[in-house]
Chains A and B, each alone.
Chain A
């Protein structure tokens, strides 16, 4: 009797969870198992031809593939940029918008704007902005130095730095929001008592703001790790990984190897690598992000 009652009580909630869980199981988690399996096969993606088991061959090729190491190096650049450029700018902007200021709606709007615009459009736009002949940046610098002419995305030595900076431009607004969420949750009386003790501007930031914001900073770092690994649209639109694969990133590398060169098994190997690296980041994320639940 009691079992039946308990079952009936749990029946409706289970039914309400089921569609979401089923979709994610079938469309998200099951394909991942398939990807890992496929990484041990050679397959041209044609449905009629059977995949051929080749053991760890794909992984051997992967770790000797120069484009792969370039893509890893570039993920590292995205991370470094996040820590040394995007993070500080986002933090300063967060400090600014968390105070009572005039025109706050305008500032929040313009700062966040790049986040809501399709990355595809942003990529195309920045290709024009960075154009060596009539692009905005070159033209602006030529006002001071008429001989200036740099092909920011055509030159393999600097192309990745240009894309990394464009990515910073896009995501500063998002991280500003994460930081400002942390800032506004700091109780105001902490600052008041610090002022009584004689603390001023920079010291208040160093002794109160930053330590109190560790949670937001963790969220930010974890988003940086997973976000860097997932980078696709900007590079796909701006350079397709070129010139000379100088701007390759893992997600694009996987996409091109799989769908342009029809090496589905090899692509699955790259995907598995992204998955494993992402999961290591996720474990850290799990530890910090959701520890308080």
Chain B
């Protein structure tokens, strides 16, 4: 009895999370008149007109492509740089290394907003708006601190005897890192990478600061612009939302354990 009550409550909360999303999916198949009938009415027919509008007029696909481009390039650089830094931080001691660690901790804690104005001015001065390179450098910088802390935490748990054995076999610090410690730490690298990927894909504010041309816009910019411009065409907006959200749902479905368990071990260690 008590158990049934618990499961009912748990199920209700899962519905609180799912129903708005289901409403979006239903809405994406309705015309405006159908949406006015209310959210509980099923779509009359499952036609894809709205998806046509969203994909052709709003260019959601182009936005997804751009977001993926920024995210993949950034994540590659983040994992590379953060794993190197994490290795050094996990293998060395002393005041200097402690100072470096606190330096990255500060990077997690300091509000990013405090950098916007000088960054915008500098990027404008260098003519770096609307450039893939600018976006990647920005995303890498602001995702590095958390990734470094996550990876350092994991690498600290990797036995030092492995390093010793490698040294005896004649491996230098970098070789030991690249061919032994990094491969062992793949679970942490994956968690850090996926979290960074989600962060970059979901970003709106940096994109707004540095990207203005339609060709380079991120998916979040595209759907935000679309929903403002076509706010009378709700069905199409719903379709745009579905297309924009779908990649993240797929990523999350594939890597659910990595994301959730990685975060929770990070939270305990942190």
Chain A residues in contact with chain B, CB under 8 A?
Answer: 12-13, 16-17, 19-21, 23-24, 27-32, 34-35, 38, 45, 47, 89, 93, 96, 101-102, 105-114, 116-121, 124-129, 133-136, 139, 169, 173-174, 177-178, 180-182, 184-185, 216, 219, 226, 229-230, 232-233, 236-237, 250-251, 254-255, 258-259, 264, 267-268, 271-272, 274-275, 278-279, 281-282, 285-286, 289-290, 293
When distances are taken between beta carbons in the complex, the residues of chain A under 8 Å from B14 are 106-107, 110-111
Closest to B19 in A: A136
Residue B187 is within 8 A (CB to CB) of chain A in the complex: no
Closest to B226 in A: A124
Q: How far is the CB of A257 from chain B (nearest CB, A)?
A: 10
Contact A16 B174, beta carbon cutoff 8 Å: yes
User: With A31-B115, A96-B6 in contact, is A116–B251 under 8 Å at CB?
Assistant: yes
Residue B267 is within 8 A (CB to CB) of chain A in the complex: yes
Q: How far is the CB of B175 from chain A (nearest CB, A)?
A: 10
Closest to A92 in B: B9
Closest to B227 in A: A124
15 further A-B pairs in the complex, CB-CB below 8 A; given A111-B14, A125-B241, A185-B268: A110-B14, A113-B21, A116-B252, A118-B248, A120-B202, A120-B220, A121-B244, A125-B21, A127-B227, A134-B36, A173-B17, A177-B264, A258-B116, A271-B114, A271-B116
Contact B20 A24, beta carbon cutoff 8 Å: no
User: With A16-B84, A177-B263 in contact, is A24–B113 under 8 Å at CB?
Assistant: no
Contact A17 B100, beta carbon cutoff 8 Å: yes
When distances are taken between beta carbons in the complex, the residues of chain A under 8 Å from B109 are 226, 278-279, 281-282, 285-286
Residue B51 is within 8 A (CB to CB) of chain A in the complex: no
Main secondary structure of the interface of B (DSSP, over half): helix
Contact A31 B122, beta carbon cutoff 8 Å: yes
Bound-state Cα–Cα, A185 to B118, Å: 43
User: With A17-B100, A182-B268, A230-B111 in contact, is A118–B85 under 8 Å at CB?
Assistant: no
Contact A118 B244, beta carbon cutoff 8 Å: yes
Q: How far is the CB of B81 from chain A (nearest CB, A)?
A: 5
User: With A16-B85, A255-B205, A278-B110 in contact, is A124–B256 under 8 Å at CB?
Assistant: no
Residue B168 is within 8 A (CB to CB) of chain A in the complex: no
Contact A254 B113, beta carbon cutoff 8 Å: yes
Contact B270 A113, beta carbon cutoff 8 Å: no
When distances are taken between beta carbons in the complex, the residues of chain A under 8 Å from B40 are 139
Bound-state Cα–Cα, A267 to B109, Å: 21
B87 touches which of A16, A89, A133, A254 (Cβ 8 Å): A16
When distances are taken between beta carbons in the complex, the residues of chain B under 8 Å from A233 are 204-205
User: With A31-B119, A121-B241 in contact, is A21–B100 under 8 Å at CB?
Assistant: yes
Q: How far is the CB of B64 from chain A (nearest CB, A)?
A: 11
Closest to A250 in B: B113
Across the A-B interface, the 5 shortest Cβ-Cβ residue pairs: A282-B109, A181-B264, A34-B118, A31-B118, A110-B14
Residue B193 is within 8 A (CB to CB) of chain A in the complex: no
15 sampled A-B residue pairs with Cβ under 8 A: A12-B173, A13-B173, A23-B141, A24-B107, A28-B110, A28-B141, A32-B115, A34-B118, A113-B21, A120-B223, A125-B21, A128-B237, A129-B39, A184-B264, A275-B114
User: With A177-B260, A251-B113, A271-B114 in contact, is A45–B173 under 8 Å at CB?
Assistant: no
